[in-house]
Amino acid sequence: MIRLSVNINKIATLRNARGGDSPNLVQAAIDIQEFGAKGITIHPRPDERHIKYKDVSNLKSIITTEFNIEGNPNKKFIDLVLANKPDQVTLVPDAVNAITSNAGWNTIKHKSFLTEIVTEFKRNNIRTSIFMDTDLDLINATAKIGADRIELYTEKFAKQYAKGNSSAIKPYIKSAVLATKLGLGINAGHDLSLDNIEFFAKNIPNLLEVSIGHALISEALYLGLQNVVNMYLYRLNR
C-alpha cells in the first residue's frame, strides 16, 4: 500500500495569519491521522513562516503514524531533528528565501556534506530520504551517500500532465527503476493533486509514500478535509 503523508504547513500558515491558535495544528494532525492518512509531514523554515520550531515537540507527542520532517540541513534543523527523532527526515536543498522547494540535490557536488548528515541521522535510527530530480547520474550518486530513500521532486511532471502531456511520467519511471535497483526506497512529492495522483501512482514502480500538502489543503476548502484524505487514499491504492 502506498502511504499518504499529509504536509500540514498550510494549516500552520493559516493559524499564523491571525497570531493565535486557530486552526489548532495538533488537533489537525490528530484528525488527519484518524481520517486515514499514514503520516504527517512538516517543513520548518528558518523564518518560521508556517511551522514554528516549538510546534515540533507538540506534534511529536501525538503522531501515531509516521512523522516526517523536511528541510535544509543547517545546524538548527539538524539539532531540531536530533532532539525530536522523527521516523523519517527528508533533506531538501531549499534556499532561505525560497517560497517553496524548487530543486533536488546535486548529490555529486554535495556528496561529503550529505554523507556526514545522513550518517548522523542513521546513527540515531532516523530513516533518511533525499529530495531528488530525475537525473540518473545523481540518483546513482545518492546510493553511495547511504540514504535509505529518495523523494522524487514531481513539479515538472505535474505541470506537464496538466497540459495533457502524460509522457512526462517517463523520467520518473526510469528514476524509480534505477533507485530500486540501487536499493533505495521511493517517495514522491510536490504539486501532486487529486487530478494527477492516480496516474502517477499507477505508473511509478515500487512507490512507497507520497507527501502532499498545498494541493490537499486547497482541495479540502471545497471538498472537506476528511473527504479529501480518503479521496487520495482511494486514488493511490485502487
Q: Quote the pLDDT of residue 101.
A: 62
For 155, list phi and psi in degrees, rounded to 5: -60, -45
Kindly report, residue by residue over 49-58, the tens digit of the pLDDT.
999 999 999 9
d(CA 29, CA 8): 8
| Residue 88: per-residue pLDDT | 98
Q: Which of 16, 27, 92 is nearest to 61 (CA)?
A: 27
Counting residues of the chain whose pLDDT is more than 70, the rounded percentage is 97
Residue 155 has a pLDDT of 96
Residues 210-235 have a mean pLDDT of 98
What pLDDT is recorded for position 99?
Answer: 55
What rounded mean pLDDT belongs to the chain? Answer: 95
Q: How many CA atoms lie less than 13 Å away from 39 in the CB half-sphere?
A: 23
pLDDT exceeds 70 at position 233: yes
* Lookup result for grid cell 493565535: 20
Judged against a pLDDT cut of 70, whether residue 221 lies above it is answered with: yes
Q: How many residues does the chain have?
A: 238
Q: Tally DSSP H helices, then E strands, for the chain.
A: 11, 8
For residue 47, give the CATH number of its domain: 3.20.20.70
For 5, 75, 218, the CA distances from 82, given in Å and listed in that order, are 21, 11, 32
> pLDDT value at position 102?
65
- Segment 199-212 mean pLDDT: 98
Range of the domain at 58: 3-237
- How many structural domains does the chain have? 1
Report the predicted TM-score, pTM, of the whole model to 2 decimal places: 0.95
Of 85, 102, 84, the closest CA to residue 93 belongs to 102
**Facing residues of 91 across strands?**
71, 130
CB atoms within 10 A of CB 165: 11
Cis peptide before 23 (omega within 30 of 0): yes
Q: Is the pLDDT of residue 37 over 70?
A: yes
pLDDT value, residue 94: 81
- pLDDT at position 56: 97
| pLDDT tens-digit map of 160-189 | 999 999 999 999 999 999 999 999 999 999
Tell me how far apart the alpha carbons of residues 82 and 141 are, in angstroms, rounded to a whole number.
Answer: 25
The string of pLDDT tens digits covering residues 76-122 is 999 999 999 999 999 999 866 655 566 789 999 999 999 999 999 99
What amino acid is encoded at 143 in this protein? A
So which residues are the catalytic ones? Answer: 43, 70, 190
